[in-house]
Amino acid sequence: MSNMSACPPTSIIYDEIRGEYICTETGEVLEERIVDVGPEWRFFEINSDINRVRGGEPITSKVHDYGMVTSIDEYSYEGKKLNDLNKAIRASGKEKRVVKALQLMNSVANKLNLPNSNLVKNDAGMIVNKLYRKGLIKRKNLKAMIAAVLITTLKNYSIPFDNREILNLCQVTQKDVWKALLKIHRDSGERIRAGLIDPLSYVRQYSHVLEVAPETESLAMTLVAAARKSGIMSGKGPQGVAAAALYLASILMNEKRTQQEVSERLNVTEVTLRNRYRDLVNELNIVVEF
């Protein structure tokens, strides 16, 4: 191996592929087998332009160690043993609680079939980690805290959801979640930033559940927009307004469904459905013929 000082510094280049320093004047390999300790990059081509991105998974709050893990080849017996050991020591005894909390959060979020689920899980994970650092997640309130965290995150993103589904998946009561929400907001400073969810979001979701025609969904959205403009939605729950708009639209489009069917499939009480339906018909001066 030649001495680097024998070649002018301006003529020395580094070959990333071979890990070698080469003198461009003489062609000599000045140093070889250099270990690159920099970041790993992936190269790809878009419109004839060569681009590169960092290799590996991005940092995420969905897991307790933010995704900064070592992957070990499991094809050999030694590799499998090392990988099992690596998994065992990833979380210390104190961290096992937050690991369990994040596992539950990810499991429930996956079952909700949410839009932008990775974004929701990442933000929910940030709140869970924050609560863990403040010592607010205990064994006895873990399920309620996860339910409260998911409800807070979904409201912040204005994503429509059914409280009862989250309560059932976490196996907690509304009272348990209410206490957890108070604790989160009081002791961690985490706040729900969004107001009521737009009923139009529920119309899109409920249209899929009821399997109505696109024309019926479009009419229901028009009814909701008119109701919002007239002010009759003030103080009314968005789920009830959306369900009533779809029920009314299905009647007007001769795609009739019974109140009981709509109520059961959308988890909205028949009393709420009738009241919101009456509001829409009376305030928007709609004539319904049966």
DSSP characters over 43-102:
EEEETTEEEEEE-SPPP-SSSTTTT-------SSHHHHHHHHHHHHHSS-TTTHHHHHHH
Quote the DSSP letter at residue 243.
H
CB 105 within 8 A of CB 132: no
Give the pLDDT confidence score for residue 67 in this predicted structure: 47
Give the pLDDT confidence score for residue 100 in this predicted structure: 86
| Within-domain flag for 237 | yes
What percent of the chain has a predicted confidence (pLDDT) above 90? Answer: 4
| Within-domain flag for 194 | no
**Residue 173 and residue 249 in one domain:** no
| Within-domain flag for 222 | yes
pLDDT digits (tens, 9 = 90+) for 234-266: 767 788 888 899 999 998 888 878 889 988 888
The domain boundary, picked from 158, 187, 216, lies at 187
What percent of the chain has a predicted confidence (pLDDT) above 70? Answer: 70
| Within-domain flag for 19 | yes
| Within-domain flag for 207 | yes
For the domain that residue 9 is a member of, what is the CATH number?
Answer: 2.20.25
Give the pLDDT confidence score for residue 1 in this predicted structure: 43
**Residue 106 and residue 183 in one domain:** yes
pLDDT digits (tens, 9 = 90+) for 166-195: 999 999 998 998 888 888 877 766 665 545
Give the pLDDT confidence score for residue 171 in this predicted structure: 92
| Within-domain flag for 227 | yes
Give the pLDDT confidence score for residue 62 in this predicted structure: 55
Q: How far apart are CA 160 and CA 194, in angstroms?
A: 12
**Residue 251 and residue 209 in one domain:** yes
For the domain that residue 230 is a member of, what is the CATH number?
Answer: 1.10.472.10
**Residue 175 and residue 237 in one domain:** no
What residues of the chain score a pLDDT lower than 50?
1-2, 4, 37, 48, 50, 54-57, 64-68, 194
**Residue 226 and residue 273 in one domain:** yes
The domain boundary, picked from 161, 187, 213, lies at 187
Q: Where are the alpha helices (DSSP H) in the chain?
A: 77-89, 96-111, 117-133, 142-156, 163-170, 174-187, 199-210, 214-230, 238-252, 259-266, 270-283
Assign residue 143 a region: left if phi > 0, alpha if psi is -120 to 50, beta otherwise?
alpha
**Residue 227 and residue 153 in one domain:** no
**Residue 50 and residue 111 in one domain:** no
| Within-domain flag for 175 | yes
**Residue 104 and residue 181 in one domain:** yes
**Residue 176 and residue 219 in one domain:** no
Instruction: Report the domain count for the chain.
Output: 3
Give the pLDDT confidence score for residue 65 in this predicted structure: 47
pTM for this prediction: 0.49
**Residue 183 and residue 104 in one domain:** yes
| Within-domain flag for 82 | no
**Residue 137 and residue 165 in one domain:** yes
The domain boundary, picked from 187, 207, 223, lies at 187
| 239: containing domain | 199-283
